[in-house]
C-alpha cells in the first residue's frame, strides 16, 4: 500500500507551508516518485504546488493533484452529505496513490471554506486515505501557555478521531518562548513535538510581490533586486540626516517621488552597506528627474525603485496587510524555510516515524539531498577565495539559509559587502577576510617561506605570494583556520590546486592527487575517475586512482565495484595500453583484496548486465560497476562530458582526492547549484579521518 503523510492544521495563519515543504524534502530524499494530493482547493493558482513541482521536478499532471474546489465540496456536502463528499475525495486520492511510492497530502487551509467542522473532515480524510497525520499549530502573537494548550488540544482532537499522529509541529512562536514550549509539550504529549520560531524573512513580502499587489511600475532595478525581501518599511518625510538614521537592513523605503534627496541618500547608504536596503517605493505618481535616476542606477545597480500613483498613507495601509508567500518565484524563501525546518525538527527521527523504505534507485535529487544532510550533520568551515564572484555569493546565500556549513569569503571586504547588498544577500555570520590587509598575512608568509625554502623562496617573496586568494585560502586550511577550500569559478584549475600541491601535499598512502566526478544518472550514481588531473597515469598511478576513487565512492554512499576500463575485455586484447590497465588491476587486488574489481573491461560490459553476461559471465563487477576508472585523461574527460550531455546526467565535480586536507576545483562554467554541491562535498571530505582508506565492511 502506498505510504501517505497528511499535513493539516486547526486554523489559518499557522505557516504550514514551511512544514509541507520540509516534509516533501524528507520524502524526496528517500524515494524517487512522490505524489502530491490536495483534497480541496481554492480558485486561482496553487502557489505551493507550483513551488513543489519546480523545486522537486515533479512530473505529476496538475489536474490529478486536486480533489475538488471548495465551492463544489460545500454544495455537495450540503446536498448529499459528508459521506458522499468523502467518498469522492477518496476515489480521487487513490487515483493518485496507485502511481506513486508515497503521497504528501496537503490538508484544508481553514480560510473561508464554509465547511462545518473542518478539523473533523481532515481527520476523516486522513483515516480514509490510510495516511499518518502531522498537525501544525500556529503560535504567532500568542503567549507560551496558550500555544502549549492549543497544541495539546490539537493532538487530543486528531488522536480522538482515530488518527495516527506522527508528530506535532508548533510554528511561528516567539523565539524566546521556543524552549519552554518544547519542554512542556514533551512532558505532556506522547509523540515528538517540534517547535519552530517565527522567521521574519518568511513573512516578509518580496519587492516583486509588493509591486504586484500595489500595481506598481518598475522605474529601476532587475529581477534579482525585485526578489529581495522587504523586512521593514521606512517612510521618508524627515530631513536627510534623520532619515538615514532610521534606515534598517532590508527595509523598503517609501517616499514621495519628488524627494530626490531621500532617494539618492537611501541608495548611497545601500551602496556603502550602511545599511543595505530592499529598494525604494515612490508615491504620488512622481518620479525624480532623468539625471537623478541615472545617478541612482550608478549608485546601486540592480536595486529596485518602483512607483505607485497613490499617496503614502493608503500605500502604507496596503503594505502592512501584505505577507510573503512561498512560491516558485521565491526560491530563496524556500531555502530559508527548509533551513528553519531542518534546524528545529529532528528530521532523522521524523523520517523513521514516517517509515518510508528507501528506494532502490538513487536519483540526482536524492544524491544532492544526501550531500546537504551529511554536511550539516558535522558542521565544518569552508573557505571560498572567490568572494566577490556573483555565483559564489549566491551559493553562499543558499548554504547559509540551509545552515549547511560555516563560510569564509576572501577578497576586498567592502567589495564583497557591496556586491552582496546589490544581490539582496545577507552575509550575517560569514567571515570576510581581505588577504591584502589581513593580520594573518605576515605569519602566512613565514610559513610559506619555510615550506618552500628549498625552492629559494624568501619571506619577502612569500609575502607577495600569500596575498593571492588561493594561496591564502590554502594556508587557512593548512593551519586549521578552515576545514576545506573551494575555488575555480573564475580561476584556472592550475591556479586552484597548485597551492594545495605545494602546501597541503598528498596523504601518506597516496602517490598522486587525482579526481572523480559523481555522475548522477536517472536511477543511479556512478563515480568516474580520473577525468580532470592526470593526463596519462602509469600502472602504479592508475591503481592508486582506483583505490582513492573507491574510498571516495564509499564515503558518499556508493558501494564500490571497480571497473578498470580499456578497449578490450578480459583476455581478448593485448598491447601497451591494455597491459597497463591489466597491471593496475593486479596491483589493486594485491594491495586491497577486499575490493571488488574487474579489468581490463569495456564500458558496455562494465555497466550493462546483458553485455556482461556474454563477455564476462560470473563476474561480480561486470554489468554492475559503480566506480569506472579511465586509462587516461583524454578518455575520461571526453566520456564524462559525452554522458553528461547525451544522457542528461548531473556531473558533480571534479572532486579532488589524495590530499591531506580537502581542496576542490570548480569549472569556470559552474552553476550556483554546482558550487553548493561542491562546498557540501568538501565539508563532508573534511569529516573523514585522515588515516587510511575507508571501504564498506
pLDDT digit string, tens, across residues 381-411? 999 999 999 999 999 999 998 889 999 999 9
pLDDT of residue 20: 94
Share of the chain above pLDDT 90, in %: 43
pLDDT at residue number 346: 92
- Kindly tell me the burial class for residue 289, based on how many C-beta atoms sit within 10 Å of its own C-beta (0-12, 13-18, 19 or more): exposed
Q: Check residue 505 and give left, alpha or beta (phi > 0: left; psi -120 to 50: alpha).
A: left
Mean pLDDT per 10-residue segment, the chain (697 residues): 83 86 90 90 84 89 89 86 89 90 88 75 91 92 90 92 92 90 90 92 88 91 87 86 89 90 90 86 88 89 89 82 81 89 91 76 78 89 95 93 93 89 83 94 92 88 92 95 94 89 87 89 87 89 93 89 88 77 92 91 90 88 92 90 84 88 88 91 82 49
SS3 316: helix
Which helix H or strand E contains 384, and what residues bound it? Answer: strand 381-384
Per-residue model confidence as pLDDT tens digits over 106-128: 998 876 666 778 888 899 999 99
CATH fold of 3-201 = Rossmann fold (3.40.50)
205-321 belongs to which homologous superfamily? HprK N-terminal domain-like (3.40.1390.20)
Structural class in CATH, domain 514-658? alpha beta
Q: How confident is the prediction for the chain on average, in pLDDT? A: 88
CATH architecture of 361-503: 3-Layer(aba) Sandwich (3.40)
pLDDT tens-digit readout, 162-203:
999 999 999 999 989 999 999 989 888 999 999 999 988 888
The three-class DSSP label of residue 15 is: coil
CB atoms within 10 A of CB 467: 17
What does the domain layout of the chain look like in residue ranges?
A: 3-201, 205-321, 361-503, 514-658
- pLDDT recorded at residue 385: 96
Per-residue model confidence (pLDDT) at position 692: 46
Fold match between domain 3-201 and domain 361-503: yes
Kindly write down the DSSP assignment for every residue of 516-536, as one continuous string. Answer: EEEEE-SS-EEEEE-SSS-SS
Distance CA 273, CA 251 (A): 13
Contacts of 408 (CB under 8 A, 6+ apart): 381, 382, 383, 384, 430, 431, 432, 433, 473, 476, 481, 482
Amino acid at each position: 500500500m502506498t505510504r501517505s503523510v497528511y499535513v493539516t492544521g486547526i486554523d489559518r495563519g499557522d505557516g504550514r507551508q514551511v512544514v509541507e515543504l520540509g516534509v516533501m524534502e524528507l520524502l524526496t530524499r528517500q524515494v524517487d516518485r512522490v505524489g502530491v494530493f490536495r483534497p480541496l482547493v481554492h480558485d486561482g493558482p496553487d502557489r505551493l504546488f507550483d513551488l513543489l513541482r519546480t523545486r522537486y521536478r515533479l512530473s505529476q499532471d496538475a489536474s490529478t493533484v486536486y480533489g475538488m474546489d471548495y465551492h463544489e465540496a460545500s454544495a455537495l456536502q450540503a446536498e448529499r452529505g459528508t459521506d458522499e463528499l468523502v467518498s469522492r475525495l477518496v476515489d480521487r486520492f487513490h487515483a493518485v496513490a496507485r502511481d506513486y511510492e508515497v503521497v504528501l497530502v496537503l490538508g484544508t487551509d481553514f480560510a473561508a471554506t464554509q465547511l462545518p467542522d473542518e478539523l473533523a473532515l481532515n481527520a476523516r480524510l486522513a483515516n480514509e486515505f490510510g495516511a499518518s497525520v502531522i498537525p501544525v499549530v500556529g503560535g504567532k502573537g500568542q503567549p507560551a501557555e496558550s500555544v502549549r494548550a492549543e497544541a495539546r488540544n490539537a493532538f487530543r482532537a486528531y488522536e480522538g478521531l482515530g488518527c495516527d499522529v506522527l508528530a506535532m509541529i508548533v510554528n511561528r512562536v516567539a523565539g524566546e518562548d521556543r524552549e519552554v514550549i518544547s519542554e512542556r509539550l514533551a512532558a505532556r504529549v506522547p509523540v515528538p513535538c517540534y517547535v519552530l520560531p517565527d522567521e521574519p524573512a518568511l513573512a516578509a513580502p518580496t519587492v516583486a510581490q509588493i509591486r504586484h499587489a500595489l500595481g506598481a511600475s518598475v522605474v529601476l532595478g532587475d529581477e534579482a533586486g525585485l526578489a529581495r525581501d522587504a523586512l521593514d518599511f521606512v517612510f521618508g518625510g524627515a530631513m536627510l540626516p534623520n532619515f538615514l538614521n532610521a534606515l534598517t537592513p532590508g527595509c523598503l523605503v517609501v517616499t514621495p517621488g519628488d524627494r530626490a534627496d531621500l532617494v539618492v541618500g537611501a541608495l548611497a547608504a545601500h551602496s556603502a552597506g550602511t545599511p543595505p536596503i530592499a529598494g525604494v517605493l515612490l508615491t504620488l505618481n512622481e518620479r525624480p528627474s532623468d539625471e537623478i535616476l541615472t545617478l541612482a542606477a550608478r549608485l546601486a545597480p540592480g536595486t529596485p525603485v518602483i512607483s505607485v500613483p497613490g499617496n503614502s498613507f493608503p500605500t502604507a495601509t496596503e503594505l502592512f496587510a501584505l505577507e510573503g508567500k512561498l512560491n516558485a518565484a521565491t526560491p530563496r524563501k524556500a531555502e530559508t524555510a527548509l533551513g528553519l525546518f531542518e534546524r528545529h525538527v529532528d528530521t532523522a527521527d521524523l523520517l523513521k516515524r514516517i517509515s518510508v523504505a528507501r528506494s532502490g534507485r538513487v536519483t540526482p535529487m536524492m544524491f544532492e539531498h544526501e550531500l546537504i544532510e551529511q554536511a550539516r550533520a558535522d558542521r565544518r568551515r569552508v573557505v571560498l577565495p572567490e568572494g566577490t564572484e556573483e555565483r559564489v555569493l549566491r551559493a553562499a546565500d543558499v548554504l547559509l539559509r540551509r545552515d549547511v556549513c560555516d563560510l569564509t569569503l576572501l577578497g576586498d571586504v567592502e567589495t564583497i559587502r557591496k556586491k552582496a547588498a546589490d544581490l539582496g544577500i545577507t552575509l550575517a555570520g560569514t567571515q570576510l577576510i581581505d588577504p591584502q590587509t589581513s593580520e594573518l598575512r605576515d605569519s602566512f608568509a613565514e610559513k610559506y617561506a619555510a615550506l618552500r625554502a628549498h625552492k629559494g623562496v624568501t619571506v619577502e617573496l612569500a609575502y607577495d605570494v600569500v596575498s593571492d586568494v588561493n594561496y591564502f585560502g590554502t594556508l587557512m586550511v593548512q593551519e586549521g583556520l578552515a576545514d576545506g577550500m573551494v575555488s575555480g569559478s573564475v580561476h584556472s584549475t592550475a591556479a586552484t590546486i597548485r597551492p594545495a600541491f605545494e602546501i597541503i601535499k598528498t596523504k601518506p598512502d597516496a602517490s598522486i592527487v587525482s579526481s572523480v566526478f559523481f555522475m548522477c544518472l536517472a536511477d543511479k550514481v556512478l563515480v568516474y575517475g580520473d577525468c580532470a588531473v592526470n593526463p596519462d597515469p602509469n600502472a602504479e598511478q592508475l591503481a592508486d586512482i582506483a583505490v582513492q576513487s573507491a574510498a571516495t565512492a564509499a564515503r558518499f554512499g556508493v558501494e564500490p565495484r571497480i571497473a578498470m576500463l580499456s578497449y578490450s575485455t578480459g583476455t581478448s586484447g593485448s598491447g601497451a595500453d591494455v597491459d597497463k590497465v591489466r597491471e593496475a588491476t593486479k596491483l589493486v587486488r594485491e594491495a586491497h583484496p577486499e575490493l571488488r574489481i574487474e579489468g581490463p573491461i569495456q564500458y558496455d560490459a562494465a555497466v550493462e548486465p546483458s553485455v556482461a553476461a556474454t563477455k564476462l559471465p560470473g563476474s561480480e563487477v561486470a554489468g554492475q560497476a559503480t566506480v569506472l576508472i579511465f586509462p587516461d585523461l583524454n578518455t575520461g574527460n571526453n566520456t564524462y562530458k559525452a554522458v553528461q550531455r547525451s544522457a542528461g546526467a548531473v556531473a558533480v565535480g571534479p572532486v579532488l582526492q589524495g590530499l591531506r586536507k580537502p581542496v576542490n576545483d570548480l569549472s569556470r562554467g559552474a552553476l550556483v547549484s554546482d558550487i553548493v554541491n561542491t562546498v557540501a562535498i568538501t565539508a563532508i571530505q573534511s569529516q573523514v579521518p585522515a588515516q587510511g582508506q575507508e571501504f564498506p565492511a
